[in-house]
Chains A and B, each alone.
Chain A
Amino acid sequence: MLKIENLHASVEDKAILKGINLEVKAGEVHAIMGPNGAGKSTMASVIAGSESYEMTEGTIELEGVDLTELAPEERAHQGVFLSFQYPVEIPGVSVTNFIKTAINENRKAKGLEDMPAKDLLKKIREKSALLEIDRKFLSRSLNEGFSGGEKKRNEIFQMAMLAPKLAILDETDSGLDIDALRIVASGVNKLKSKDNAVIIITHYQRLLEHIKPDFVHVLYDGKIVKSGDASLALELEEKGYDWIKELA
C-alpha cells in the first residue's frame, strides 16, 4: 500500500529525515518509535504533504500513485489520513459542519454528489457511538476548549467518518487518560481491516498494548535504525533508547 524510498526532508536547510525506507502493506499495523527529535512527527507531516518541510529526495507512493507532487488535499483524496498530535482550533465551525465539509470535498474529488443528509446523519450516529461521543460534543466549535482527550477522540472520529486507506496516528496516546486511551484504541481496532493500514507514531509502549502492531520500527536521527515485531516495543520500554543510539 505505502512505499517510501530514500525519503529526505529538511526544514530551513536543516536535514531532518535522512533516507527513510518503509513499506506498509494493506491490513498491517506499523509502529514508529524513537526518542524526541528523531523525526517521527516530521515523517508524518511529510507523508501528508505539509509545506513546512521541503522534501529533498526520495519517493512516496500510495497504491502505486506517486504522492510526491500532490497537494495535501489531493493526498487526502487518495486516502491518506493524519491524526494530528496537536489538532488546531477552528472557532465557529462545529464538529459536524467540519466533517460534513470534509466528506463532501472528498466525494467531490471523486466526482460524487454531496452525501445525502440522511446518510450523513446515520454515519455520524454510528461512528460517534463507536467512540462514545455524545451529541452535544458534535455541535461544539472544532477543538475549541476541548480537553486533550476530546481532541484525540475527535481525530479518530474523523478518521472513522472518512475511512482512509492509510491512517497515521501521531502521538495519539499523549494527553489521554486510561479510559480515553481504551476508547480510542478500541475504535482504531474496529476500524482496522484487511484493506487499510495504520501507522502509529508513539513514544511509549502504552498504546501498543491496546493496538497490536505487526511491525515496530525505531527512528533515530532521521533514519530507521532497527525494525522488528511487537516484542521490539517491549524491549524499548525496558531498556530505553540509549542502546539504539549506538546502532546509528
Chain B
Amino acid sequence: MQRITNIHSHVFTGTCAPDYFLKTILPVKLHGWAEEVNWVLRSPWMRQRLENWAKWRGPGNVLRENSKLLRYIRFLEVGTQNSQEEVFLCMKKAYTPLGPDVRFVALTLNMDHMDVRSSHHARIEDQLAEVERVRAHYPDVFLPFVCVDPRHLGGAALREWVREKIERRAFVGIKMYPAMGFFPFDTRLDELYAWAAENAVPVMTHCTRVGTFYTGRMSEVLTDLTPAGLNPGAPEMTSIHERIARFRESPLTWNGTKFGCNIFLHPENYRPVLRMYPALKICFAHFGGDDEMLNEPKKVRDQGMDPTNWHDLVKKIMAEPLWPHVYTDISYTLFNDKVYDQLRTLIDGPSGGRILYGTDFFMTVREDQEAVLLQRCIDLLTMDRFRKIGAENTTAYLRSKWFNPDLRFT
C-alpha cells in the first residue's frame, strides 16, 4: 500500500529568516513596524501576555475580536522553535492518527535575496546543512526539497549543486519561490530544468497571489522589462512582456512589492519553460489559492493589473495534453471549507491524478491547527479521495531516477 505524504510543508525556523521576513506576513498597515513587532513577539513572555489578554472574555477586549493575533502568535510559537527538527516533530505529531508511516516533504526556502538590506540570518547553505541532519535522523519520513534561486547560483553551477544533493538522496526534489524576485523562465535555470526533466526530479513552485515576497523595491529585481528568457521564441513571451509593462506603469504594483511580485509568479510564466521541457515534472502549489478557486478575490486581482483567475489558468495548463507532468497541490487552500465542493469534482475529474495533498505547515497555523486541517480534509473529501491525493498521486510525483518512493530508507 502506498504511503500518505504531505507534499508541502516548511520546517525552517525564525533564525533562517531575515529580520524583515515578518513584513511579508503582517497586514500592510503594519509593514513599517515589522521589525519592531517581530522583536516584541519573539519574546515568549510577551506572547504569553498577549495570548492571555486575547483569551480574556471581558467586555471591550479588542484583541479578542481579532483572533488573527492569536493565530499569529501560534504561528510564531512554531517558527521560533530551537531547530528545524523540533518544527518537524511538531508537525509529525499531528499525523499520529494516520500511523508512523506518513511522510513529509519539507520545502526549504532561500530567503537570502529577499531584500538588498543586510541581515544576519542563517543563509540557505546553513538551512540545508541542518535539514540534512534531520534527514539523517528520520530518513524514511523526512523528504526535503532543495530551494533554488538563480541569484545564488546559476547555469551549470546550479545544476551541479542540486545534482550532488539529489544523487546522494539527501534531497528528493527542487523548490522554487519566484516571488523572491526572479522569473521561472530565467536563463540561469535552463540547465537545471534540462537535468530535472531528464531525471524526472520533481519541482515544486509557489503559485498563488499571496505569500512571502521580495521586500525591497521592484526596480531592484525587475531591471529588464522585456526579459528574453530561456525560450525567447515562445508565443507567450509577448503577453508576458505586455503584463510586465502594465505592472510597471501602475504605481500600485510598481511601488508595492506585495502585489508587484505576482508578476514573477504568474502561471503563464511557466509555459515557455514547459514548451522547452515538456517532461518537466512541476507542481503549481496552492491550486491558485482559495479565493481564486471560489472566484472571490480578497483584493482586486493585483490592483486590476492582471484580472485573470489563476486557479483557472492552472487548471487549463494541467488539462493540456502537451504537459502531462504538471501537478498542483491543495496546500493552504485546504483551510477554506468552501473549496471542497469543487475539489471533490476536480479530484474525480480527468486531472484528478495530478492533484496532491499538502498543507503548507506551518504557514497554515495562522488559519488552524495542523491536526484539525488534516481531519477536516479527510472528512470533507472522504478517505478514498484523500488516499488518492495523499498517497497515489504523491507517490507518482515523487518518483524520480534517484528516488523510489516504494522503498524504505533506513
- Do A and B assemble together? no
Interface residues of B (CB under 8 A from A): none
Interface residues of A (CB under 8 A from B): none
